[in-house]
Structure formats: C-alpha cells, structure tokens
Chain A
Amino acid sequence: MGRQLSFKIFRYNPTLKDNKPHIDFFQIEETPRLNVFTALFKIREEQAPDLVFDFVCRAGVCGSCAMMINGRPTLACRTLTSDLPDTIELFPIPFFKLLGDLSVDTGVWFRQMSEQVESWIHTKEEFDPTAEEERMDNALANKIYETERCIECGCCMAGCATALIYPNFFGAAGLFRIGRFFIDPRDKRKNQDWFELVSTDEGVFGCIGMMGCDDVCPKDLSLLEMFAYIRRKMSGIGLRKRQTVKKDAIF
C-alpha cells in the first residue's frame, strides 16, 4: 500500500454567491510515479467534482499548470508526489487574477505583456514568397531559440518581489521576451527604441535583484544572464545618451 497523502487545497469560486476563500482537505493513496496532475484529477473525479485547475499538455511544455506546491511556484504536471512530504499544500500562483480555486488568468496577462513589449519582429520588409529565405548562422538560430523557450507559465512572476512593488513590471518573462527580439537581426528596432522600452521602473531597472524568477523557472531559462545582458546594453546606451545631453548643455 502506498502512502496516504493529505492535500490541503485553496478553494474559492467567485462565481458562486456567498462562497468565501477557504481550505479543503482531501486524502488519496499514493500510487507509483503519481504526479500532481493525476492526483488532482483523481480528487476531482472522486471527491470534489467542482474543483477548478488548469492542465493542457500534461507534458511540461504548455505552461498551463503553474501552482504553489508547498510554497513554491512550479508546474504541477511534472511534480512527482514522491518528491513531496505526506502533506501537500496547493495554492494558486499569486500576482495573476484568480479565476477560481487553483486557476489563474495567465493568458490575459501574457497577451498584455506581448502588446506592451511589442513582441514581434519589427521590419518594413515585405515577405517575398519567391525569394530565398534570409540566411542566418545556425549558432544564432540556436541562440534565438534558447531565448524563445519561455512557456508563459507565470512562475517567474509568482516568485517576483518587484512585481509586488510595480504592478506594471514586465517581469522576467517580459524582459526575456525583449531579449529574444533584441538579439534577432531580423528585428530592426534601434537602440533608442529598446532604451525607451526597458529603461523605466517597469523595465529592467525596476528589478530589485532578488532573482526569485531565476530560482523557480521550470525551464531553467538563463534569466539572470539575460537581465545582466540587457542592463549592460542599456547602461551603455543610457551613458552615451547622457554624454550627448551633457555635451549639448556645455557647448
């Protein structure tokens, strides 16, 4: 017989009148290689049919199932119960709008972020279907792919202290997205455009450097390195800008 697991799960359904946030307790028996995905479905199907949570791919690639598992934001589908103690506490990730129980509205936030950072290739070139594609060094293609592996799960925002100070903070997800386009030569935005985008408190200089994002990112993205890279680049641009202004003031 497997362990008896106790699940303490945050419950709140804002669409029901008189429903108040509370904790529900469930017990299930652990089976080999049980993960939180399977456990939650078991609880829903056998004990709490109205329990709300989000899963899509259940393979760690779609980013739907981030939740607080014993206090840490992570992907529920690939969290094995065997790595957890007998009591498992599940809460929705903070920062995002709560939809109900463990489900939060990451989709709307990430769409807004994409609009805010203009998450697309900025170019005036029209696509010519008869022309050969623009060449790219394979190493650069790999580098861009590395910066595109974010799955928008929201764990970084859930682990972010700065997001609590600046509600419009792009967060690691937004800055990583900016970095993805910054290194892509197909994007013709100029240094000045990038500077305007990230030089505010909402951008890279708002970060207070706790790097909770880097600790919890389930895809092990190089968030720390990307922050440092963008800061260095932007400081350089900012410095040149300042020197120009000073020169103008003196002469």
Chain B
Amino acid sequence: MRLLTSDVLVIGAGLAGERVAIACASEGLDVTILSLVPPRRSHSCAAQGGMQASLGNSVMGEGDNSTIHWLDTVRGSDWGADQEVARIFTDIAPAAMREMAHFGVPWNRVKGGPQEVFIKGKKTTIVEDFEKEGLITARAFGGTAKWRTCYTADGTGHSVLYTMDNMAVQLGITVHDRMEALRLIHADGNCIGAIVRSLRDGEILAYVAKATVIASGGYGRLYGISTNAIINEGTGSWLALQTGIVPLGNMEAVQFHPTGLVPTDILVTEGCRGDGGLLLDVDEYRFMPDYEPEKQELASRDVVSRRMMEHIQKGKGVKSPYGDHLWLDLRHLGEHHLRTKLREVYDICMYFIGVNPIQELVPVRPTQHYSMGGIRVNKDGHAYNMEGLFAAGEVSCWDLHGFNRLGGNSLAETVVAGMVVGKYVADYAKKSALVADTSLAESFASKEIDKMSHLLNNSGRENVYALRDEIAEVLSNNVGIFRTGGDLENAVARIKDIVSRTGKVKVRTRSTGLNPEISQALRIEGMAKQALVIAAGALARTESRGAHTRLDYPDRDDENWLNRTLARWPEDADEPVLTYESVGILDLPPGERGYGGGKHIPMKATVEEYNARVYEDQKANGLIDTSEPIGSRLPEKAWREGSPGKEVK
C-alpha cells in the first residue's frame, strides 16, 4: 500500500475545504486535498443566491452591523445555535466578503440613484446612495432584518468557488480528485490521516498528516428527494461516526428549502423571493401574508416550508403527476431581471421542465436542502474526542445554525469557517509531529479490504441500490417536515432492519477497480447508520424547534430541550448512543422569534445558571479545550446596545 504524507490532509474540495487548505498553505504548510470530484464540480458551485455579511452598503442594509446579523442568526436557529460561534461568524463575514473581492470575485456592486425593486409584492423605488457607489451590494433573503446577502447574479457559489480554486492553483496546493476517504486512521483519540480509495482504479492508499480536516458537505442524498448534488451522501460525517468516539451533533435538524423545482428537485434560489418572487396556490392566490403578515414570503426557511405544506394539506396545492405543489411567481420581475440576476433559475426552468418563468408560473415545493447537524466540533473546528481531527462547512456542527439556518449563512459559513478553522489547523499542524505509523495504517486498510472482499463474496442477496432507495423512502416519508412519534418509531424500526441488511449486500460485478457498484456498496453502511442517527434523534427530541417539527410536541421546550443532540456509534453496537449538551453560552436570552407562530416553554434556570454549567457539560461530552476560553469572543450583552462586536483578525 502506498503511504502519502503531508502536513495537512483536507477531505473535500468545496469552499470550506479549499479555504482551510489556503489558510494552511499560506503559512508554508504542505497541504493535500482529496475530493470525490474535481474541485470546481463540488456542490458549493451550485449555491445560487449569495452570502450574508453585514456590509450595509445598500440603502436597504443601512445601519446593519454584525450584531443585527447575529440576532437574526440566533433567532433563526430557534436558539439552537452556539451564540459565540454565531458571533465569530457575523464579526468576520464582512472582511471575508472583501477578501473574496480582493481574490477576484465580481460581487454585484451598489449603483447610485433610484432603483426599481419589489418589496412585499409591491413595486417600490429605492434610492441608492451615490457615496456608496461601487461597493459590494446585497439582496434580501429570508429571516433577515436588513438586505445583507452579497451576490454575483445567481451564480454566487460558482463564482466564489472558481475564485477560491484559482487561489489554490496559485498556491500550488496538491489536489487528488476522484479519491474517497473510507476510514480515519486513529488510535487513543489521535487521528493521523485516512485510508482512501481511488475512484479511478480502486487502489487503496493511506494518507498520513499532522492534521486531518473533513470538509465534505452534507448528507442530503440520504433523503433521495433533495436539492443536493448526487455526491452528498454523508461520506465525510460517516468517517467521524465510524470512529465510535466522535459525535455527530443535531443530525435531526434537517432543512427543507421552500422552493425545490417539481419535478427534478433542483434548487430555485431564495434570491427569487428576495428579489420579489411570490408564492401562489392552486387559485393563484398569494397565501403567505395570511400566515406570516410581517415577513410574508421571507420568513425563515423552516417557517415558509411548514406554511407551504400546511396550505397544501388544506387542499390548496396544485395537483400534478409528481404530487401536489405550489407556484412561484416571477413574471412581474420582468425579462431583464430573469435573464441577468436570475439567469441560472431561468435556464433551469427552461431546460429541465420546459417552463418559461418570464411568462409562466414555476412549480415548487419544499425539498430537503441542508443539514444543520454534522461532526461536532468546538469553536476552533476541532472535533470532539479526537486530537488532530477538524471539520468545517456543512459537514460540521460548529454550530452556527442550530435548528434552522438562514439562507445565505451557509455559503458565507464555508468561507468564514475556512478562515477561522484554517488558522487553528495551521497552528495545530505547526506544533505537531508527523506520526507515520505504517502498521496502524495497514490495520485500518485491512478493514476496508476485508469489507470489499465481503461485498464480493458473501452469500447475501441485498441490492445496494434497493437499500439506498429504502433509506430515502423511510426518511422522506417519516422524518420529513412534519414528524410524529408513531412515524418516527416506525422509521427507527425500519432503518434498524436496513442497517442489519447492509451486511448482506452483494456486489454483482466482480471488480474492485473502476466500479461504481462497489463504490456505492462501500458507502451504504454509513448511509444507513446516519439515517438511524437522524431518525433516533428526531424521535427522542420531544419538542419542536426550528426545522424539527413534532406535531405531537408543538411547543419549543427550553426547560427540557435547550440542548444539542450528540450521537456516537460505539464499535459493534446495534444503534447509536444519544447524549445531550448545552447549546453554548447564552447572551441573547431565549425568546420569541417574531415569526412562525408556536409557543415556547421557558426554562426555569436563569441565563447565568445555564451558562455556569456549559463548559463542564460540553467537556463531559468530549469537548477538546479551545485555544481561547469558551465565551471569550462573545461580548456580553453587546446585543442590547446593538453595537457591533470586535472583528477577529
């Protein structure tokens, strides 16, 4: 077996992974990035709408600052977020946007003078300040107090990813594409790299590094019906769960985007509604203002998705061979807008479903889109219970998003977390020695080789694609937008059965080389086990918070559930072990979100009492001590004055 070494190993070449790699390479470290696909094909490229940062250049963002952004984020999370992490994020986001501009992103800019826009369904004229002309502008997104989402038309992810990859090329960062990490190499809570399979020819290799970073994106494809790219099968989060000791956080917190295209489930950006697009029902009646008079179409995603499903369940959906849907009306935005600022949306509608959004209504319905949960890391990005292992971006539970993420916050998170975590990874790698333990690497590799041989030679009859579809069916039907105890019990039972059957998958083709069937078969155990983590976490959480909606427990219960679910899967266990930790230091006391309805049960403890036990509580769950004490980046009660926090350099 070949053994390749570097200072830092990054698994995933999307925005978060590349930004971490750039942070490390800029410090003179030797970095290798592994990716399932060429970096520019990573799912980051499909992000359309934009990145939230409180630059406040547009007149509609006037007076914005990182505190207002932070308040929107914490409220949006339904108080599930780590408020300090949210603060770190909102403080750095403006500089991160400027840095990307410096690297080459052609952000749309402020144009001085009167501009015609649509706000809450009405054509309105806003007057942009000539003093701000040429600075980075922003558009409206859901759940925000200000226009704050920086964008390049509706190809923001593409544009930022290409710029980021240009940086990686300039720095000469090694990228090995078509490589899949199958297992972390670790002993006694120290990670020294990963066992990797080449998707080109099936070669098994060991990559050894001082620090290993997982930045492989979400697991949306577990749901089958998802806006996610087909590579988002949870391969990175599985690496962590498989160790038996690293926990996954809040896996039951799954975001459904209000506007997935029907059929095909392709994303139609929130920028459509931000720019004035409206949701209509079967009677072409605009229903959102009835449910959410204040925010209307631009409440946070969990709320809009729930309201849409509620409306469909009242019989107001549009019947179609692909199930009931609603309409997104973009016609009033006009041809110029749709063929410039929303061109990708225009192209997608035209090419994939033959609908011209300039003249016709676009069929949409809420569709699985994002995983708030993931590998639980501390504020430096260091994984719980595992020295030398880091995670950033969607795969992580850093926990900026809690139980609901705001649109535009995840794309911004990739870059900001990449900067923040990248810095700590570089520091960690610089003070660490390379442990090229070949016998340890061999022992982990042999587990994968045995697994492959089992897949080829066992006497079972399970078909990997059928099992994958079964997981998707159970999750979509039983662990969707509205959840009940009965559905979830059923899901847990069925997925447990699927987990046991993954051992009986038989690969029909005999090759371990270039063979998509065996690649899928190697993933199925991780997919099934993570599906069980999602379902079990959802069943246990007897409250409704953010995107996790229990019809049998409709209230947000801060007395019992102001916490984060942590799931570990001990070796040889049949099911995950769930524990709970405090969400983090509270600065903004739990309260009403101001949209979405629903009641909440307040906690009896005071904020001070809650905060006093955060550190011990997280420590008991595997927190690795942070480089600075917990809470150090959270200026106490800064939100009261609405003053911005300090920028982190």
Contact = CB atoms under 8 A, between A and B. Distances in A.
Interface in A62-112: 62-64, 78, 99-100, 106-108, 110-111
Interface stretch (A141-149, A208-216, A230-238): A141-149
A56 B158 contact: no
8 contacts: A33-B353, A60-B351, A107-B37, A107-B40, A121-B102, A121-B104, A145-B155, A148-B159
B514 to A, nearest CB: 4
Given A114-B166, A121-B104, A78 B508 contact: no
Contacts of A140: 106
Interface stretch (B60-68, B169-177, B185-193): B169-177
B134 A129 contact: no
A14 B514 CA distance: 8
A45 B463 CA distance: 9
B177 A49 contact: no
B40 A120 contact: no
Given A119-B166, A142-B340, A62 B177 contact: no
B166 A50 contact: no
Contacts of B153: 142, 145
Nearest to B132: A135
B429 interface: no
Interface string B86-128: 0000000001011101111011111100000000000000000
B170 to A, nearest CB: 4
Contacts, number: 195
B110 A138 contact: yes
Nearest to B38: A107
A184 B104 contact: yes
A249 B327 CA distance: 72
Contacts of A13: 511, 513-514
The 10 closest A-B pairs by CB, nearest first: A107-B38, A135-B134, A15-B513, A144-B106, A49-B517, A138-B109, A129-B95, A50-B509, A120-B166, A78-B351
B486 interface: no
A250 interface: no
A193 interface: no
Contact of B109 (A107, A127, A135): A135
B634 interface: no
A33 B363 CA distance: 14
Contacts of B43: 56-57, 62
A14 B38 CA distance: 20
Given A58-B230, A129-B649, A141-B107, A149 B509 contact: no
Contact of B159 (A15, A121, A145): A145
A58 B266 contact: yes
Interface string B619-649: 0000000000000000000000000000101
A184 B107 CA distance: 12
Contacts of A129: 95, 98-99, 647, 649
B1 to A, nearest CB: 17
B24 to A, nearest CB: 17
B145 interface: no
Contacts of B158: 61, 148-149, 151
B460 interface: no
A114 B353 CA distance: 34
Interface of A: 13-16, 32-33, 35, 44-45, 49-52, 54-64, 78, 99-100, 106-108, 110-111, 114-115, 118-121, 125, 127, 129-138, 140-142, 144-145, 148-149, 151-152, 184, 186-187
B516 interface: yes
A62 B647 contact: no
B344 A115 contact: no
A58 B220 CA distance: 14
B173 to A, nearest CB: 10
Contacts of B111: 138
A63 B41 CA distance: 7
B285 interface: no
Given A60-B351, A137-B109, A50 B40 contact: no
Nearest to A45: B465
B347 interface: yes
A55 B232 CA distance: 12
B101 A52 contact: no
A121 B353 CA distance: 38
A142 B343 CA distance: 12
Contact of B200 (A60, A63, A99): A99
Nearest to A64: B41
A13 B510 CA distance: 13
Contacts of A51: 516
Nearest to B228: A57
Nearest to A79: B351
A107 B649 CA distance: 34
Contacts of B649: 129
A136 B37 contact: no
A50 B202 CA distance: 13
B582 interface: no
A55 to B, nearest CB: 6
Given A61-B158, A62-B229, A129-B98, A145 B514 contact: no
Interface in B247-294: 263-264, 266-267
B245 interface: no
A67 to B, nearest CB: 15
Contact of B169 (A55, A115, A135): A115
B356 interface: no
B152 interface: yes
A148 B37 contact: no
Contact of A120 (B104, B264, B513): B104
A99 B515 CA distance: 11
B158 to A, nearest CB: 6
A148 B107 CA distance: 12
Interface string B537-581: 000000000000000000000000000000000000000000000
A114 B169 contact: yes
A34 B230 CA distance: 17
Contacts of A118: 170
B175 A111 contact: yes
A136 B106 contact: yes
Nearest to A114: B169
Given A62-B40, A145-B155, 15 more contacts: A13-B513, A15-B200, A33-B353, A50-B511, A60-B352, A62-B45, A64-B38, A125-B102, A127-B98, A130-B647, A134-B101, A136-B106, A141-B108, A145-B159, A149-B155
A57 B136 contact: no
Contacts of B434: none
Interface in B161-187: 162, 165-167, 169-170, 175, 177-178
B32 interface: no
A17 to B, nearest CB: 10
B45 A57 contact: yes
Interface in B494-535: 507-509, 511, 513-517
B469 to A, nearest CB: 9
A127 B102 contact: yes
A135 to B, nearest CB: 3
B133 interface: yes
B163 to A, nearest CB: 8
A50 B109 contact: no
A65 B647 CA distance: 42
Contacts of A44: 516-517
